Amino acid sequence: MQNTHPNVPSIDQQDRTVPINLRQSGPTPVQMLIDTRVRKSPYWHLSMEAGCWRASVYNRMYHPRGYVRPEDGGMMAEYDSLVNHVTLWNVAVERQIRVQGPGAEDFVNFVITRDATKIPVMHARYVILCNEDGGILNDPVLLRVAEDEFWFSLSDSDLLFWLQGVNVGRRFEVDIREIDVSPVQIQGPKSLDLMADLFGPAVAELPPYGLLAGDVGGCPVIVSQTGFSGEKGYEIYLKDSTLHAETLWNTVLEAGKPHQLAVVAPAHHRRIAAGILSWGQDMDQETLPFQANLGYQVPRQKAADYIGKAALEEARRQLEAGTPPYTHQLVGLRLGGKPIEEYAPDFWLISATHDGGPGEPVGYVTSPWFSPELGQNIAMGYVPVELTALGTQLWVQLPDEYSDVPGSPVAAEVVEVPFRPSVNPNQREILRQRGLDAAV
């Protein structure tokens, strides 16, 4: 049933129990309260020393979201460092949940949609976990550091509680807990040079999603060739990070000087160009994988049972029968307007028509930004299934500060995702390159 309440305009969200709040409220100038209810990571004070001037909350932890002030170039200056040099990101908010014990493989195989038995030791995979309705609960990078030990490197949801709840009654012989491991990301075209200085030539042989044990300044770490940017990049997972954060951070800063290393916030403008999704923004627990173009995460031939399997197989059956079990699908958009060089405070509305006014909204933008390489704004957003064909013309209702004509929407077109090739292609890109079906 459609609703014209300002929180949910007229967009059909009958397939959701809790509709996305689509009220266009704009920026809200408030001061964030720093208190003890939200954790500070071991790198928090180091981010402050590096110039962090704003933050959000992610996984119940303060998350740096800006180092370069707007008057000095803001997020686009940080973007320049990422795509031309090398950058250091504080991503300790990627909490590490360890599943360890004789039943670790069986437990992990039960909670992820992909086949955990096919993940070799000292390799990682991008995975999703779903509830019984097939909704996406989290999309972490999963590290297998031993035969009987996995780490879930979390996106923004309380997965620890879910995993512990699944194992109430000790159905699986495993220990499930958060561990004192905090990652940083090293991202950009010079990342390999910097990593080679830190770890030696062996790091150059590390394949995508490969893992390497090493140390930084005498502190033990695990390295993965992964990242949230689409650029060449790595993550360094520091063990006993509460004790050793300063050592790792300062060692990386010193090694980065010859490579023009800059400390920046996670580059959402670059991850959008790479088609990398952000949980809670581009999907949530009421989003089916097929709806967010993650169908490749739902294997057709996984024999073992897993949470959400029945619902996902039924959803695939409906899709193949031409009756999608949802109203909206995530698409890529190229759109007009002035450069969007800041985070969007709202899910901006999408219309199918423009007759002199904004038009009746039929969808919404989840992740917009300006792409310097493409010279225009790009975005991901949800539109009705019948409007997802490439080349479909739409209209986006941008705030006046970005609109060419205040009060009028800008033209948009449905396009392929990713918007530009990635140096580190994600699994969906790899499947497309191989000519395989990544959507269903």
Long-range Cβ contact pairs of 311-314 (< 8 A, separation 24 or more): 311/130, 311/132, 311/133, 311/134, 312/113, 312/130, 312/134, 312/288
In the sheet that holds 181-187, the strands lie side by side as 211-216, 219-224, 233-239, 181-187, 86-90, 261-263
**235 belongs to an annotated ligand binding site:** yes
Contact by Cβ (8 Å): 17, 133: no
Long-range Cβ contact pairs of 68-73 (< 8 A, separation 24 or more): 68/264
Taking the C-alpha atoms of residue 7 and residue 292, their distance in angstroms, rounded to an integer, is 23
**Residue of 136, 10, 15 whose CA lies nearest to 385:** 15
Known binding-site residues for substrate equal 235
Known binding-site residues equal 235
